Amino acid sequence: MGTMPKSESGPSRAGAVSPSLITNQTLLSLYAGLLKRRTIEEQARSLGAGRPAQRSFAAAIEGVAMSLLPDDTIISAGHPALPQCCSRAALDDPARLLRRPQKNEPSAPAMGTAALLAVGAAMAHKAAGNPQVVVAFLAGRGAEPGAWRKAMQAAGAHKLPVLFVRTGSRYVVNQRRLDQAYGFPHMVVDGSDVVAIYRVACESLAHARKGNGPTLIECRIEPSADAVLTMERYLTGKNLLRKGLRSKILSGVRRELRAARRAVRKTPAAG
């Protein structure tokens, strides 16, 4: 199967999936998770746990994470406040996400290398008959065309249970041509639209869990986009954004992060 049609924005249009399939509770959970992810990003940068970035990846992370199981594997490259390798359960542990970089800790891999790591993890899951999927969150520069090509070819040839989530403001044209040759779906989505990302991630993860192989989701993020405001406009249109809801959620998140920061400060530096 070649490149899939571009996915429409969730808040502006539901695309092929009916909006009624997403419950109000799920929408509110996405909103709360989005606020938490973005706050963690900001805190991680202030602690030096994540590289400075001009845009937020919170919508991409939360939109996908909502459909993951606790033991699913996450590989990352170029994402602030994401470990290079962890389980889905670790995303609910702010102390883990806010951990300070350790001395002599290896630098984050480039996208091609991270994609190969994800393929290796997916092969291990498949060989062992495990039900887990692997998600590779890939951002930044350093695509490493050779490593990228090898990872995509292996994922497609073996129908591996892996989801590649590539985030950025631009798409490299020669890689578009390469993606079309790998025999699995490629979807394009607004990277500041957590509902749209959630929709395509649900479909893609179900596809992988059924043994149908990988999917590549490209989340295009414009520097001026604000995922939280986009979601708030959507919730307002559905009469779900109650007065004071944002403040209430952020108050709880900040309490949780204060406790996490205390735990981080008590962690001795290695080396």
- The residues spanned by each domain of the chain are 19-101+109-265
Phi, psi at 218, each rounded to 5°: -100, 115
> In the structure, how many helices (H) and strands (E) does the chain have?
9, 6
Residue 26 has a pLDDT of: 95
Which fold, 19-101+109-265? Rossmann fold (3.40.50)
Token couple for 189: 């989505």
| Amino acid 54: pLDDT | 47
Closest CA to 82 of 32, 25, 21, 140: 140
pLDDT band at 79 (very low <50, low <70, confident <90, very high): confident
pLDDT digits (tens, 9 = 90+) for 141-159: 666 788 988 999 999 999 9
Please state, in angstroms and rounded to a whole number, the distance separating the CA atoms of residues 25 and 22: 8
Residue 16 has pLDDT above 80, yes or no: no
How many Å apart are CA 85 and CA 117, to the nearest integer? 9
Global pTM reads 0.84
In sequence order, what are the beta bridge partners of 167?
Answer: 139, 219
3-class DSSP assignment, residue 200: helix
> Which of 138-152, 167-181, 212-226, 239-253 bottoms out in mean pLDDT, i.e. has the lowest?
167-181
